[in-house]
Chain A
Amino acid sequence: MSERVRNVAAVGVIVASLAVVVAVLASSPPSDADRVHDLATRLKCPICDNESIASSPADLARELLVLIEERVAAGSTDDEIVDFFIATYGEDVLLDPPRGGRTALLWVLPMVAAGVGIALVISRRRSGTVPILDDDDRARVRAALHDREAG
């Protein structure tokens, strides 16, 4: 097989497979998000340390899970349920802290760190062009290494 055929075949296989993936993803109905479980993982069990209502075995967590189920069944929105929990247990009931106020830094700092990292990489790059070995040089390196191997 020539290089050209290999390249075309490779692109063909990759594009066809990706098409299958996209087609499958597009054709599948949007999954019914488990709202109760989702909410229960975002809310802290008020009497536990760092455990969500979903994962805590405490009796209170179980009662609150039932409460969430009832509210969801009664048609409350996610925000209404979350607001109810904040009003009842305080803001630290949120395991996913709000983006503003005293937890704003939690959202800003990682972004700043990522920005500094990107700036660092760009500044580490050497200016100017890099000498690239041409094919003759490569052949010489290969031959030299081959000699070393053999000898």
Chain B
Amino acid sequence: MIGYLGVVGIALALASAIALAVDGFRVFVRGGAGAGRLRIPVRGLLLGAVVAMGALELALLTDDFSLRYVAENHTRSTPLLFTIAAAWAALEGSIVLWGLVLAGYATWIRRSVTEGDRIGAAALAVVGIVGVFFFGLMLTAANPFTTLSPVPLDGSGANPLLQNHILMAIHPPMLYLGFVGMTVPFAFAIAALVAGDGSTAWLERTRRWTLVAWTFLTLGVLLGGWWSYEVLGWGGYWAWDPVENASFLPWLTATAFVHSAVVQRRRGMLQAWNVALVIGTFALTILGTFLTRSGVVASVHSFTQSAVGPALLGFLLVVLVAGFGLFAFRGHLVASTPRLDSLASREGVFLLNNLLLALFAFVVLIGTLYPMVLEAFTGDRVSVGAPWFDRAAIPITLVLLFAVGLGPITPYRRARAIVVWERLRGPLQATAVASAVVAVLGVRSITVLTAFAFAALIVSVIVRQAHATARSRPEPYGRAVAGLYRSDPGYWGGMVSHVGVALVAVAIAFSGSFDSRDTITLEPGESADFDGYTLTYVAPFLSEQGHRTVIGATVELSRGGSDLGRLRPALTQYPNQVQAIPTPSVHTGLREDVYLSLVRIEEGSARVTIDAYRFPLMWLLWLGGVVVVGGGALSFVGRRARRRTEVVAETAGV
């Protein structure tokens, strides 16, 4: 029964998406007349998507094992949270979630489309076309409501890795809010191309959506890293796995777009480049979905094999051919005439940032796809792993950090050396002294020192700019500092994100260079030393938690006689899986994390083997990530109190 309801929802959404595409285009051709009518198909789209998602959740919550999806991803013993999250634990359900998010964004766009708005109507038509593909996929290759006969008494449950931690319930929706959100600037960019509208209107309109999507995408990538660290137990947060890269690629181009959009709004430049970036970002979100959901990459995320792969690949080709074809034929209509006055300018730094991010994305893209393409065409197997990615990523990131530092103090149009020096003088001193202190304290790696120095430069430049801006304002200094954010939320939100980037850079450099690891085997009651810490194996433990069995070791952690508490690394056995899932246990300190992952407990003797890791400054990584996300949120929630105040600030600093 529930299955029929779900199929009806999908069919309604599909019909609405078709109507939206056709009607939106018709309204566009008529110059925007009748745009208000588009309300109806958008409502249908949302209603259909809500019914489909609701039916899927209902089926999961009522243990309706007549549906194949429920039988494969749910058991009677699955806890409530993971039952709800099971709706996006596998391919079909995650496409439903995708469709729901798309319908949500369509509803939000529709509210801004008024009578006579032909660009808005065309954008809704593009959203409609994207909707036709995804809801069409749900009715055919990825139907979550196909039935099973005979009906099993119980299901087999989702991949255990996906029901081992609360983050798995949150990470995919966040990522999808980001991925699907990129449809909005894409739809408006295509609309501007089709209309041949060379104004910055589409950019102004989509600014908030782009920032919302970017913020969620950042949060999704961050949560993915955190999940990897907390759940996978291999002692890291990033492995350049193709599936991680799939989420990182659109993040890179979206980040480039967020920056180059500023140049277009402020100086009317890079218009065509922005359109290309947006098309590329959208294509990368589809590529990411293809990589994660088609099973083309044999990795922990790619737990599915189905006809969806070819469909997604086909859609990717359509997006690339139609998007860049349109761009090739009509790009000149939206291209901007102003050219760069000088490379030594704010625009020049933005351009450097964009080219580096684009190069970064290109490198990650070929490193990710090369082994697959080579194997597909020649059958040869090669591996491209962390050492290869690191070699390109480290220098690109270092130059990017330097650009982030320089950006805010570089004037638009043309930077005179004397002005730059005057603004940079203070921050450079702070940076140099901080670097010297860190070197004396024991940091000997040139890469780490450089990353630290550039991070210090980023932060001190922002402090200097805040100080100089506040001082140039007529109101008292304290009030001026407090009022900075309200004077230009977009700019200062961005600066907050930059501080977060600096923190993340320091954390990555330190944790990657000064970590240590050891494998320790202990009998109950025995102790071992690990890098200045003492690990004492107290006792093994075993607990049956309904749908799973957890075995683990209680380990006492101490350092120099002071007790730091107990860690409980464990192995979790799920009934549907042979391999047990390690659940690491982490002690987080101000200096460093101590991270224990259980390898095995021998039956009988209860002797344990534990992988012990020490990672410096991990808390700074998560804090920095939260600050980046917070800055993104600040940049779109606040409305500008007064216009053009930053012009005053900049000129006053000259």
- Rounded to whole angstroms, the CA-CA distance of A51 and B383 in the bound complex is 10
CB–CB B387/A95 < 8 A: yes
| 8 A Cβ contacts from A108-147 to B | 109-110, 113-114, 117, 120-121, 124-126, 130, 132, 138, 141-142, 145
Residue in A closest to B416 when the chains form the complex, CB atoms: A132
B429 to chain A: closest residue by CB:
A13
Binds A, one of B95-103, B148-156, B157-165, B229-237: B229-237
Contact B242 A50, beta carbon cutoff 8 Å: yes
Residue of chain B at shortest CB distance from A50: B241
Q: A93: CB under 8 A from chain B?
A: yes
Is A79 on the interface with B (CB-CB < 8 A)? Answer: no
**B298 CB-CB contact with A under 8 Å:** yes
| Binding site secondary structure of chain A | helix
B residues less than 8 Å from A105 (CB atoms): 366, 370
Within the assembled complex, what's the spacing in Å between the Cα atoms of A121 and B356? 12
Q: B339 on the interface (CB 8 Å rule)?
A: yes
Is B471 located at the chain interface by the 8 A CB criterion? Answer: no
- What distance in Å separates the Cβ of B450 from its nearest Cβ neighbour in chain A? 10
- Contact: B234 with A57, CB < 8 Å? yes
Q: Which single residue of chain B is at the shortest CB-CB distance from A9?
A: B429
Cβ B339 vs Cβ A124 within 8 A: yes
Question: Does B340 count as interface, using CB distance less than 8 angstroms?
Answer: yes
Which of B239, B366, B371, B647 makes the CB contact (< 8 A) with A51? B239
Does A78 interact with chain B (Cβ within 8 Å)?
no
Q: Are B351 and A124 neighbours in the complex by a CB distance under 8 Å? A: yes
Nearest chain A residue, comparing its CB with the CB of B609: A62
**Residues in B337-388 with C-beta less than 8 Å from chain A:** 339-343, 351-352, 355, 358-359, 362-363, 366-367, 370-371, 374, 378, 380-388
Q: Which residues of B contact A50 (CB under 8 A)?
A: 239-242, 299, 383, 385
Contact of A14 among B358, B413, B428 (CB under 8 A): B428
* Pair B341/A126 contact, Cβ less than 8 Å: yes
B440 closest partner in A (C-beta): A24
User: Is the beta-carbon distance between A125 and B339 smaller than 8 angstroms?
Assistant: yes
* Known A50-B242, A145-B647, A149-B474: A113·B385 in contact at CB below 8 Å: no
A28 adjacent to chain B (CB < 8 Å):
yes
Q: Across the two chains, which residue of chain A brings its CB closest to B425?
A: A10
Question: Is the beta-carbon distance between B236 and A55 smaller than 8 angstroms?
Answer: yes
Shortest CB–CB separation between residue A140 and chain B, in angstroms?
A: 11
- Identify which of A62, A103, A150 contacts B382 (C-beta below 8 A): A103
Q: In the complex, A10→B576 CA distance in Å? A: 66
CA A51 – CA B474 in complex, angstroms? 59
Among A21, A114, A149, the most chain B Cβ lie within 10 Å of the Cβ of A21
User: With A and B bound together, what is the CA distance between A95 and B421 in angstroms?
Assistant: 44
- B611 & A124 in contact (Cβ 8 Å cutoff): no
Interface residues of A in 71-114 (CB under 8 A from B): 90-97, 102-103, 105-106, 109-110, 113-114
Question: Judging by beta carbons under 8 Å apart, are A57 and B652 in contact?
Answer: no
Contact present for B383 and A93 (CB under 8 Å)? yes
The answer to whether A57 and B654 touch across the interface, beta carbons within 8 angstroms, is no
Q: Which residues of B contact A52 (CB under 8 A)?
A: 385-386
What residues of A have a CB within 8 angstroms of the CB of B351 in the complex?
A: 121, 124
On chain B, the residues within 8 Å of A138 by CB distance are 651, 654
Please report the C-alpha to C-alpha distance between residue A126 and residue B413 in the assembled complex, in whole angstroms. Answer: 11
A60 near B: Cβ within 8 Å? Answer: no
B578 contacts chain A at the CB level, 8 A cutoff: no
> A110 contacts which chain B residues (CB < 8 A)?
359, 362-363, 366, 392
Q: How far is the CA of A121 from the CA of B367 in the complex (A)?
A: 25
Whether, in the assembled complex, A6 has its beta carbon less than 8 Å from a beta carbon of chain B, the answer is yes
A20 part of interface (Cβ distance < 8 Å)? yes
Residues of B603-654 at the interface with A, using a CB-CB cut-off of 8 Å, are: 611, 647-648, 651-652, 654
**Within residues 306 to 351 of chain B, which ones have a CB less than 8 A from any CB in chain A?**
339-343, 351
Contact partner, B651, options A7, A24, A141, Cβ 8 Å: A141
Q: Chain A residues near B385 (CB, 8 Å)?
A: 42, 44, 50, 52, 95-96
Closest A residue to B235 by CB, please name it.
A55
Closest chain A residue, CB of each to CB of B519: A62
Interface-side segment among B16-24, B117-125, B430-438: B430-438
**CA of A96 to CA of B499 in the docked complex: distance in angstroms?**
33
Q: Is the CB of A21 within 8 A of B340?
A: no
Please name the residue on chain A nearest to B338 by beta carbon: A126
Total interface residues in chain A, CB < 8 Å: 56
**Mask of B514-525 contacts with A, CB within 8 angstroms, 1/0:** 000101000000
Question: How close is B334's CB to chain A, nearest CB, in angstroms?
Answer: 17
**B87 nearest CB across to chain A (Å):** 27
Please state if A28 and B444 are interface contacts (CB–CB under 8 Å): yes
Return chain B residues, CB-CB under 8 Å to A28: 444
Q: From residue B171, how far is it (CB to closest CB) to chain A in Å?
A: 20
CA distance A28 to B652 in the complex (A): 46
Q: Please judge, given known A-B contacts A57-B233, A126-B341, whether A113 and B446 are in contact too, CB under 8 Å.
A: no
The CA-CA distance from A93 to B383 in the complex, in Å, is 7
A57-B429 contact given A21-B439, A97-B383, A142-B651, CB 8 Å threshold: no
Measured CB to CB, the nearest residue on chain A to B378 is A102
Whether the pair A57, B359 counts as a contact (CB closer than 8 A) is: no
How distant is A144 from chain B, measured CB to nearest CB, in Å? 9
Pairwise interchain contact B433-A126, C-beta atoms closer than 8 A = no
Tell me whether A41 and B386 are in contact in the complex, defined as CB-CB below 8 angstroms, given that A20-B436, A57-B234, A124-B340 are known contacts.
Answer: yes
> What is the bound-complex CA distance between A142 and B611, given in angstroms?
64
CA gap between A32 and B484 in the complex, in Å: 49
- Cα of A117 to Cα of B414 in the assembled complex, Å: 21
B244 and chain A: residue at smallest CB distance: A50
CB distance from A149 to the nearest CB of B (A): 6
- Give B71-93 as 1s and 0s: 1 = Cβ < 8 Å from A's Cβ atoms: 00000000000000000000000
Complexed CA–CA distance, A102 and B257 (Å): 34
Q: How far is the CA of A116 from the CA of B600 in the complex (A)?
A: 52
Given A24-B439, A57-B582, A110-B363, A97 and B384 touching (CB < 8 A)?
yes
Is A2 positioned at the interface, with any CB of B under 8 Å from its CB? no
Could you say which residues of chain B place their CB within 8 Å of the CB of A37?
Answer: 517
Q: In angstroms, how far is the closest chain A Cβ from the Cβ of B420?
A: 13
User: Chain A nearest CB: distance from B509 CB in Å?
Assistant: 15
Closest 6 A/B residue pairs (Cβ) = A95-B385, A17-B432, A96-B387, A17-B436, A20-B436, A126-B339
Contacts A/B (CB < 8 Å), 14 sampled: A14-B429, A17-B435, A24-B440, A41-B386, A49-B299, A57-B599, A90-B381, A92-B381, A95-B386, A106-B384, A110-B362, A121-B343, A124-B351, A149-B648
Which of B's residues lie within 8 Å of A, judged by CB? 233-236, 239-242, 297-300, 339-343, 351-352, 355, 358-359, 362-363, 366-367, 370-371, 374, 378, 380-388, 391-392, 413-414, 416, 421, 425-426, 428-429, 432-433, 435-436, 439-440, 444, 446, 449, 474, 517, 519, 582, 597, 599, 611, 647-648, 651-652, 654
Give 17 A-B pairs besides A13-B429, A103-B382, A105-B366 with Cβ atoms closer than 8 angstroms. A7-B421, A10-B429, A16-B436, A18-B436, A20-B436, A21-B436, A24-B439, A49-B298, A50-B239, A92-B381, A93-B383, A102-B378, A103-B384, A106-B370, A106-B384, A113-B362, A121-B343
